[in-house]
Structure 1
Amino acid sequence: METSLYMPVKGFLEKAGYVVKGEVGGCDIVGLSDADPPVLVVCELKLSFNLELILQAVDRAAVSDEVWIAARVSARGRGREADRRYRDLCRRLGIGMLGISDSGEVSVIVGSVSPMPRTNPKRRSRLMQEHRKRRGDPALGGSTRAPVMTAYRQQALGCAAALAAGPLRVREVRAGIPDAGKILLSNVYGWFDRLDRGIYGLTDAGREALLRWPQP
């Protein structure tokens, strides 16, 4: 699975000085540096190099300072990473190529030179905000079948954990979750029950969510 490539690439980017998180804003991997201004790096994962991977990278170039593609290299040396035309296309587009061996070793096949200008600053800003708001790194990059643990879902789970012992007023929940008022009112996941004005309890769906994603 593509998630098997996540940890090797995460380690590679962390060694380069980035804070790395998976599945942020639809991107498999997002790295953010502490520089001023920050450097935003995006990497897309596939089990093998193909055209779809390049198309994803071109899309991500609109919001990132560097964009990379990563895939497992062919044991027989017959994959696209051995095709000079594929490598030349990545160079012309400014897309970096990372190859991952069966043992998890990461090698730079083509460096990222980022000649393409950013064209979507709003989307870039949303991506950076999601990265910064998310606590820890709760999602493996390359995941496709499991719900993504977004910053919003993390805060909603925090509200659910606060209500697990019994109903509370919004201001009491807000003490630990600043956006609790909006989250409880919108009730996107159906986890909360409005018992009275400003008072909320937890639904069965909310209790099931806490069993699925236990909170510290």
Structure 2
Amino acid sequence: MAVKLETDLYPPVKAFFANRGYEVKAEVRGCDLVAVRPGEDEPVIVEMKKTFTLPLLLQGVDRQRTGADVWLAVERNRTKKGAHNQRFAELSALCGRLGLGFMTVTFFKTKEPVIEVWREPGPGARAYALRGGPGSARAGASAAAGEAGAEAAVRVAEEAFAAGYAASAGGRKRAGAKPLLKEFAGRSGDYNVGGSLRRKLVTAYRERAIQCALALACRGALAPRDIRALTGCPNPGSVLRDNHYSWFRKRGRGVYELTREGEAALREFGEVASVWAAKFEWAADWLAARASGSAAAETGAAAERK
């Protein structure tokens, strides 16, 4: 069966990496899916599309600038026989030459989706070797060509490039992945869906704004230093002053209060606010009130259905 939305790919792909021991979050700095193993600093990026397209391929190559291992994920639609996006063996070979991982997701009406891994991400050694690669690879290839022919030359070139790649990959990954890892760590959970369009995303910045709004909702007007003491939010002053979402207004010198937009935001992002409220003793009453309100809403909805 064909999926209607790109977001349908996210749950099975997320489950795949969760089963590999990764923590997974969606829509991190524009990436559909980012996965990180606890205690490690080497992220994995997955870009998803319903079909394999050139923009998807270019997007995957661009994501490699972060130093992360990059995968491309598309649907395997069994009804589109002969279509160009079904030539998965060839597409897999292309991804391999570029160092990209490649997987497909097949959906069924009566059973869980099935993921097929066609290619794990890697250095793309053959592509670099055939373009000339590092000088050591060219030299090794030339020597082997004189002895054992072209196939041995390519093999030596691949090995030489792979060795050089492995020696420098660690430094590149740590440097390029810092902004990605910072945003990943700044989120308390996975509240987005990979592949979403025209939706308000829960970013690390929005979570800091939610913490500030929660403190103001529970304690009334406060100074930034008071909010920092209550929540541990590292920079509440800039969040309140910048006021990107119109959630706050200045009540007096150095003191801020919550606006109606801020109150509505706490309801709109209630799941996130509840996660933070559960960490703060001073927010227990707010959390209980929200839980009671949710239960009442559910009861009312059930009565209407009857």
Aligned partner of 2:92 in structure 1 is: 87
Measured after TM superposition, the shift of residue 81 of structure 1 is: 3.8
Aligned-residue offset at 1:110: 2.0
Shift in Å at residue 114 of structure 1? 3.4
- Partners of 2:173 and 2:43 lie apart in 1 by 13
Q: 1 or 2, which has the higher helix percentage? A: 2
Q: Give distance in 1, aligned partners of 2:21 and 2:216.
A: 39
**Cα distance in 2 between the residues matched to 1:114 and 1:148:** 32
The 3-state SS of whatever aligns with 1:12 is helix
1:142 deviation in Å? 0.8
Who is 1:72 aligned against?
A: 75
Residue 133 of structure 1: which of 186, 197, 202 is its match? 186
Cα contact 2:49–2:74 (8 A) shared by 1: yes
1:151 to 2:207 alignment: no
Give me the TM-score of the superposition, normalised by structure 2: 0.65
Give the corresponding residue for 2:223.
169
Report the AA paired with residue 36 of structure 2.
L
Counterpart selection for 1:14 from 13, 18, 27: 18
TM-score between both structures, scaled by the size of structure 1 = 0.91
What is the one-letter code of the residue matched to 2:107?
Answer: D
Question: Which of structures 1 and 2 has the larger relative contact order (alpha carbons within 8 angstroms, sep 6+)?
Answer: 1
Query: How far is 1:124 from its partner?
Result: 2.2
Unaligned runs of 5+ in 2: 126-164, 275-306
Q: What whole-Å deviation, never above 9, does each CA across 1:77-105 have from its counterpart, x for those lacking one?
A: 43424254322211100111111111321
SS in 2 for 1:131: helix
**Aligned-pair CA distance for 1:61:** 0.9
Q: Deviations over 1:179-199 (max 9, x none)?
A: 212211221211111111221
User: After TM superposition, which residue ranges in structure 1, 4 or more long, deviate above 4 angstroms?
Assistant: 116-123
1:50-73 CA-to-partner distances (Å, cap 9, x unmatched) read 111111100011113311011110
1:209 maps to a residue whose letter is A
1:41 match: 44
Q: AA paired with 1:89? A: L
Distance change in 2, residues 1:145/1:135 (3 Å) = same
1:99 counterpart = 2:104: yes
8 Å CA contact 1:159, 1:173 repeated in 2: yes
1:98-120 residue CA offsets vs partner (Å, 9 max, x unmatched): 11111321110222213487768
Q: Distance in 1 between matches of 2:192 and 2:244?
A: 20
What are the ranges of 5 or more consecutive residues in structure 1 without an aligned counterpart? none
Q: Which residue of 1 aligns with 2:244?
A: 188
What do you get for the CA RMSD once the two structures are aligned? 2.0
Q: Which one has the bigger strand percentage?
A: 1
1:5·1:45 contact (CA, 8 Å) conserved in 2? Answer: yes
Percent identical residues:
36
